[in-house]
Structure 1
Amino acid sequence: MTSFDPARFLPDDLLVRIRERAVVHDHENTFPHDDLDELRAAGYLSILVSTEHGGAGLSLAEASVLQQRLAGAAPATALAINMHLVWTGVAKVLRDRGIDDLAFVEEGAVAGDVFAFGISEAGNDLVLAGSDTVALPDGEGGYTFTGTKIFTSLSPVWNHLGVHGLDTESPDGPKTVFAFLDRTDEVVTRDDWDTLGMRGTQSRTTELRGAHAPADRVVRRIDPGPTPDPLVFGIFAVFEILLASVYTGIARRALDLAVEAATSRTSKKTGTIYANDPDIRWRIADMALAYDAMPPQLAALANDVDSLADHGPRWFSLLSGVKYRAVAMAKEVVDDAVLVGGGAAYFSRHELSRLYRDVLAGMFHPSDAESAHATTATAWLGPVTS
């Protein structure tokens, strides 16, 4: 067995180009088309697809390492690509468990198609467990979807959109329906992405106006609410691990920039580099101590998903916990890196300034702090009793 080499999929020269373009896309609020083109050409869209299906056959743990590496160059590009990798990762989770429901996702990814994640809805804190989108059966096993999805990353470029909606019309309803849509006139993308950070993701609002998914693109009809269904588990597991990977990558880049600043700046007061200042040394050590804990946690949890480990009901607290810790850690590390970087980091042209804005987006992804704490409390204490 050959060892995994991240540079094979993300060589240094590609990361240099992606990092240089990140400045432009953040400033101009544009989508990184060139990044996508180069990543597609490198086979990055199919890293999680099995070799039998024409992909790279990487594990979720290996994809996590790559996403950390990509996020260090361009957080918005990594976060956008994340949403495609979620669906290919879910296909892998299902395939590893003997379920071939998303073979068409793997085939599409190998062909260069982009899959986007159309699950988030304004005010829907049930997330996967419910939906405000109306899923209307067409009588032939397919559905039309009417509703509004928010934070749809990859909006300018996706070929297929994975969505969910609620079917209240069928006799066995209500059912939460998961399906994939193609771009049609019934799918309308608003040009409304003007945000503080993660601007290159172009995660625009998507209106579904009776958008149709045929029967062969309807992948689940399940009861609303919490469920052990493998598709829902796969979405949650891959989504949380790859999100945590992106923010861990941001933290590593911020730490590297802080070290660079401390070793290149000289104090007028002492006449020596700031790396010799005990306060700066303590601050960078604190950043490193926080960061160092995350890559092993991500590797361990991703390996558990890959190896079909059984954590039973604890799975959801473990997954929400790793995402919450990664985001909280990354925000603290970036905060300290800005302080080490000094006044220069306050200018918008400075990379740390962009990381400072980008890292804030982590608070808005599921699972948020409240959900992670509630899930973990239930895992350890049981449900709240009356």
Structure 2
Amino acid sequence: MTADTTVDSLLDDDLLSRFRDRAARYDRENAFFADDLDELAERGYLRALVPAKLGGLGWSLADVVRAQSRLATAAPATALGVNMHLVWTGVARLLHDRGDDGLDFVLEEAAAGEVFAFGISEAGNDLMLFGSGTVADPQPDGSVRYTGRKIFTSLSPAWTRLGVHGLDAASADAPKLVYGFIDREDPDVRTLDDWDTIGMRATQSRTTVLDGAVVAPDRVVRRLDPGPDPDPFVFAIFACFELFLSAVYAGLAERALALAVDAARSRTSARTGLPRSEDPSVRRRIAEAALALDGVPPQLVGLANDVADGTDHGALWFAKLSGVKVRTVQTARDVVDAAVRVAGGATYFAGNELGRLQRDVLAGVFHPSSDDAALNTIANAWLGPVQD
């Protein structure tokens, strides 16, 4: 671990250069970002949100937002994969700071080197946190067995703890959504080798099959009613997920803009003999992209500070968080599109970094919240729900 643990020193320029070189290979070979993860772990990055008194770096949510954006300028898929671990440690940190020690084991185990992954997404389940097709079967000893399939399980080759949810439809107080953490060693957990996508390939977000996998009694962390729930646990998951995810796409867009600037300066127009950076249409594209992107980081950092400080946005909280995700991803897509138009046909060739970023940024539309879900949340916040 480095002695200086500020964001810029831990994610120094040399590290980012190595990660950027590897990113091309990971994408080409459809390989997991194993070497990146090892370096990040060695430097203490996986302990970023763990309080110093528990053996971590004690970073704030805003620090992690800045760090994830910086990491994504070099390796967006690596940043996206690490996000899932950071979400769980972020949830545990927020609850810890509010006097709830129910997830302190997450912080302690992350400090000891465990890697946490996110097992929430399910095919066809647009309820996400508010529902599940996975069966949660409580056992007499207080443990819970889970049977179902989780998709988009980032960190699949490396996770040691998987946070999952499922629906208990059989108990006296049913239905209840039951959240808990499964160990990698569980024999009833299978990871399929089915990740072959057009972008974000290094995340290796494979399908996880739960065939009665057991969550121990002391790892069952919530039993909640299905549907939107005011529980701080649910809010913490939503907040950390949306903020850290948005940070990745902001960093990706920052890199795309930098590549566009380089291309504009290095390319020469055959028609005028001047650098493309002198072309008014090129200058306009870059200026518009820079103007749009400039507003994103302050929004993310500001919301991260509001979450950590407990700012009361009342009924607008979920609207703000889902809104910033949709807005950031759309901005990133617009910036990348402008960058590709500036850089020209070279981006269409395999191995071109900007071409890879164009493929990677497409993944943003598939993460929660979707555009439709976010707009529905925002409309409900401002107008109230539709009357039946």
Q: Return the letter of the residue paired with 1:171.
A: A
- The correspondence of residues 316-335 of structure 1 with structure 2, limited to 5 A, is 316-335=318-337
- Measured on the aligned residues, the alpha-carbon RMSD in Å equals 1.0
- The correspondence of residues 1-386 of structure 1 with structure 2, limited to 5 A, is 5-183=6-184, 184-386=186-388
Gaps of 5+ in 2: none
- Quote the Cα distance in structure 2 between the aligned partners of 1:206 and 1:80: 15
Query: Cα distance, 1:233 vs. partner?
Result: 0.4
Q: Is the CA contact 1:18–1:74 (under 8 Å) kept in the aligned structure 2? A: yes
Gaps of 5+ in 1: none
- Quote the Cα distance in structure 2 between the aligned partners of 1:385 and 1:106: 43
- Quote the Cα distance in structure 2 between the aligned partners of 1:27 and 1:146: 34
Query: Cα distance, 1:385 vs. partner?
Result: 2.2
Q: Which runs of 4+ in 1 moved over 3 A?
A: none
Q: Is the CA contact 1:267–1:273 (under 8 Å) kept in the aligned structure 2? A: yes
- Quote the Cα distance in structure 2 between the aligned partners of 1:88 and 1:370: 28
Query: Cα distance, 1:5 vs. partner?
Result: 3.7
Q: Return the letter of the residue paired with 2:292.
A: A
Query: Cα distance, 1:185 vs. partner?
Result: 1.7
Q: Return the letter of the residue paired with 1:383.
A: P
Q: Return the letter of the residue paired with 2:327.
A: R
- Quote the Cα distance in structure 2 between the aligned partners of 1:9 and 1:86: 19
Deviations 1:203-244 (A, max 9, x none): 000000000011100000111111010110000000000000
Task: Give 3-state SS (helix, strand or coil) of 1:228's partner.
Answer: coil
Task: Give 3-state SS (helix, strand or coil) of 2:307's partner.
Answer: helix
Deviations 1:299-338 (A, max 9, x none): 1100001111111111100000000001000011101101
Q: Indicate the larger mover: 322-331 or 265-274.
A: 265-274
Q: Is the CA contact 1:190–1:205 (under 8 Å) kept in the aligned structure 2? A: yes
- Quote the Cα distance in structure 2 between the aligned partners of 1:6 and 1:221: 36
- Quote the Cα distance in structure 2 between the aligned partners of 1:140 and 1:220: 16
Query: Cα distance, 1:348 vs. partner?
Result: 1.4
- Quote the Cα distance in structure 1 between the aligned partners of 2:116 and 2:232: 19
Q: Is the CA contact 1:4–1:62 (under 8 Å) kept in the aligned structure 2? A: no
TM-score of the superposed pair, with normalisation by structure 1: 0.98
Q: Is the CA contact 1:175–1:221 (under 8 Å) kept in the aligned structure 2? A: yes
TM-score of the superposed pair, with normalisation by structure 2: 0.98
Deviations 1:76-99 (A, max 9, x none): 000000000000000111112111
Query: Cα distance, 1:48 vs. partner?
Result: 0.6
Q: Is the CA contact 2:135–2:148 (under 8 Å) kept in the aligned structure 1? A: yes
Q: Indicate the larger mover: 200-209 or 257-266.
A: 257-266
